[in-house]
Structure 1
Amino acid sequence: MIPVNEPLLNGNEKNYLLECIETGWISSEGPFIKRFETEFAQRFGRKHAVAVANGTAALDIAIEALDIGPGDEVIVPAFTIISCLHQIVRAGATPVLVDSCPLTWNMDVNQIESKITPKTKAIMAVHIYGLPVDMQPLLELAQKHGLKVIEDAAEAHGQTYNGKPCGSFGDISTFSFYPNKHITTGEGGMVVTDDDELAEQARGLRNLCFQPAKRFVHERLGWNYRMTNMQAALGVAQLERLDEFIQRKREIGGLYSELLNNLPGVQLPLMQTEYAQNIFWVFGLVLDESLGLTAEQAMQRLAGQGIGTRPFFCPMHLQPILRNMGFFNNETYPVAENLYRFGFYIPSGLALTNAQIEEVAHVCREILQ
């Protein structure tokens, strides 16, 4: 089986982890935490970086720090992972959906303004699968209407928009370090911002809102969303190699694009847009309905040939839990629905070899042609 993702951990990861063990700094206290935060903030052009337990934790903290709650609306893409909506819903706010651009698979920024109401408090931009959201018109809308911007850069480590790092655009931005990300700490995440107050809130919210003077007296509810020193050690080692990882991801994407070029009825990822070159966090395929094959059927056939795959996101308006809660009744988002029904991605992890890429492409051609 060729796995859909396998991380690359052959740099300083082992040395830094041994340092944690030998010094006894294995919990959320330890020097690698501060080092990772400092170096990450510098790399992504932010004043503050706050390391947390995972990418979902980062989103939870971002929404709570912006005081989003009952009566508020947050505009989000219909095509994303459900963790983007968790804290919005739990806080009593209302997610408002925007459909996708069929070429980039990101939220269609041309649809945002029609969704803005007096209740709108924020827009959440989620960079999807390797290309960034078209941020300039989104930022202009946010400024025009006095809205906050939450930027989810979980899938965009090292990506840029018009030369500026993704993760540097939001009032508050978030990252994930799950094993399939360009930087992994196993589990882990980061909240970044230039706002001193938001950063201070994030630090408190990740740590149960302990108070410096009266540690066990709480005036606010937070979470235990701390990152461990061992996770941060992995993050430092991975961050050292981010440019190398981006180059390799683009090589993988370029080779797949060459090998799968002109495959009838199959949409490949865009190599670039006017504002960004794809970093191919994953290499997705979207089948044309004329093939008579859904993504699920194609994935089953590929699995039979030893090729790992993963489906595209199920759109938010089709999520049973959200529909049962009364959200998105009678709403339809055709591009997101099409991506879900006919989209999936093939192996593209950093440990993938060129020989494996060629094998995957060969099997894809046999099955999809």
Structure 2
Amino acid sequence: MGVPAARIVFDENDRAAVAEAVSEMLATGALTLGPWTERFEQSFAAEHGAPHAVAVASGTAALEIVLRSLDVRDRDVVVPAVTFYATAGAVLHAGGRPVIADVDPATLALGPDTLEAALTPDTAAVVLVHIGGLITPEAEALRALCDTRGIPLVEDAAHAHGSSYLGRAAGTFGLAGAFSFYPTKVTTSGEGGMILTESAELRDEARIHRDQGKGSFTTNHHVRLGASWRMSEPHAAIGTVHLRRLKEFVETRRRVAQRYDAALGALDGLRPVTEPAGCRSNYYKYVALLPPGVDRAAFKRAVAEEYDVRLSGEVYDLPLHLQPVLAPYRRAALPVAEDVCARQICLPVHSDMTEDETDLVIEAVSAVHRRLAG
């Protein structure tokens, strides 16, 4: 048996709990913005120590709603080059202009210097992305820098359920954090997203935006240019059930990552992107950088064909400023982002990963590395 790139984990008890919840909601007819949505919001906020949460249709919707609530129209929003398209896409759909910044090679995140270089007189917001679940030790410094300029800091925490830095959870460093529950995330609702925020005003705006901009759920009175960004009750029930296992899942993933660190750190030229001091990552992704000149496609093909180990998709193989659709926002070369995107691989990490599977990944990566990089 090999190791797949990803595995979605719902055990028998999880499936029974979801089935019972769905049966109940089908009987009552409460299928959207009902008690399960409220329960999910409360549970997710409590898990991350945040005062307010708003459940929405996707992580992308979560980020766009935050940016719409901040009114970034016709203004600049700084985003890192190492992130998924949706980070910049949300800016554009909210009417803003993405300003793409380089990253810190140690964390793949914005740093104070790269942020300073990207700020403009018309910056409306800054988006900090926690790649792979790692929270940069500079998160508080980035918030302080934004505060001195009167610029809201927003977290794209799509990867970071349960991650923390010095005991402070992802989604609580900025004015708001946007999470994704896409199926491969550490916890999932099938599809969906969540906004965490310290601001009751932003919470209220988000609730309006997610429901077609209506002033209240039961009226045909539209006060914002919202959209159909609601989370359905079945999705909320799935998310609530899965969230109960977040701590367990994170512990399993961290044990896998620790074994990878110990085994792969000794390989000449292969550099794991390690957890910074004070950071407690959920290891949504385990990122390592291949030595310069190693053919990534050949590396991935060899571990798959020879060991049946599938490496998961990179985060990311193409930086934002080189995405064709974002060509109008390309200002200059971003050398760190270009380097790490060209060389990174992601080793499989599952929420129920066994020691035998971990050993097989280590064996495969070590052997192929020795041959291709030796």
TM-score above 0.5: yes
The match for 1:112 among 112, 115, 120 is 115
Q: CA RMSD in A?
A: 1.8
Partner of 1:245: 249
Q: 1:84 to 1:197 in 2, by over 3 A?
A: same
Number of aligned pairs? 362
**One of 77, 84, 88 as aligned partner of 1:85:** 88
Alignment CA distance shift 1:26-1:248 (3 Å): farther
| Whole-Å separation in 1 of the counterparts to 2:77 and 2:53 | 23
TM-score, normalization by structure 2: 0.92
1:308 aligns with 2:327: no
Which residue of structure 2 aligns with residue 328 of structure 1?
330
Residue aligning to 1:99: 102
1:201-237 deviation per Cα after TM superposition (whole angstroms, max 9, x unaligned): 1111111112339723433321111112121112112
Q: Is the 8 A contact 1:161 1:276 kept in 2?
A: yes
Once the two structures are TM-superposed, the CA of residue 128 in structure 1 deviates from its matched residue by 0.9
CA contact (8 A) 2:99 2:329 kept: no
SS of the residue 1:112 aligns to: helix
**Aligned-pair identity (%):** 32
Task: Give the Cα separation in 2 of the matches to 1:18 and 1:213.
Answer: 27
Structure 1 residues 82-106: Cα deviation after superposition (integer angstroms, max 9, x where no partner): 1001121233322112212112222
Query: Which residue number corresponds to residue 339 of structure 2?
Result: 338
Alignment counterpart, residue 177 of structure 2, candidates 173, 176, 179: 173
Secondary structure, counterpart of 2:213 in structure 1: coil
Secondary structure at the counterpart of residue 124 of structure 2: strand
Give the letter aligned to residue 107 of structure 1.
L
Superposed CA deviations along residues 158-207 of structure 1, whole A, max 9, x for unmatched, are 11122111111221111111122221111111011121221111111111
Question: Residue in 2 aligned with 1:22?
Answer: 23
Q: Structure 2 regions of 5+ residues with no counterpart?
A: none
Q: Does 1:279 align with 2:282?
A: yes
Distance across 2 between alignment mates of 1:262 and 1:87: 40
Question: Structure 1 stretch 31-40 or stretch 258-267: which is displaced more?
Answer: 258-267
Q: Please tell me the residue identity of whatever aligns with 2:59.
A: G
Query: Structure 1 segments of 4 or more deviating over 4 A?
Result: none
Structure 1 CA distance for aligned equivalents of residues 289 and 228 of structure 2: 39
SS at match of 2:132: coil
Quote the Cα distance in structure 2 between the aligned partners of 1:347 and 1:114. 35
Contact kept in structure 1, 2:17 and 2:241, CA below 8 Å:
yes
**Corresponding residue for 2:236?**
232
Mark the CA change 1:123 to 1:367 in structure 2 (over 3 Å): closer, same or farther: same
2:362 is the counterpart of 1:361: yes
Determine helix, strand or coil for the equivalent of 1:129: helix
- Unaligned runs of at least 5 residues, structure 1: none
1:169-208 correspondence runs (5 A) = 169-208=173-212
Distance (whole Å) between structure 2 residues aligned to residue 145 and residue 115 of structure 1:
13
Query: Which shows bigger deviation, 302-311 or 194-203?
Result: 302-311
The 5 A counterparts of 1:26-175 are 27-70=31-74, 72-133=75-136, 134-175=138-179
Letter in 2 for 1:92: G
Taking the aligned partners of 1:138 and 1:337, their CA distance within structure 2 comes to 22
Distance change >3 Å, CA 15–CA 107, structure 1 → 2: same
Aligned counterpart for 1:216 among listed residues 216, 220, 228: 220
> Counting helix residues as a fraction of each chain, which structure ranks higher?
2
TM score, norm. by length of structure 1? 0.93
Contact 1:130–1:278 under 8 Å retained in 2: yes
SS in 1 for 2:133: coil
Report the AA paired with residue 295 of structure 1.
R
Q: Verify the 8 A CA contact 2:60 2:86 in the aligned structure 1.
A: yes
Distance in 1, matches of 2:131 and 2:53, equals: 22
Structure 2 Cα separation of the partners of residues 214 and 31 of structure 1: 16
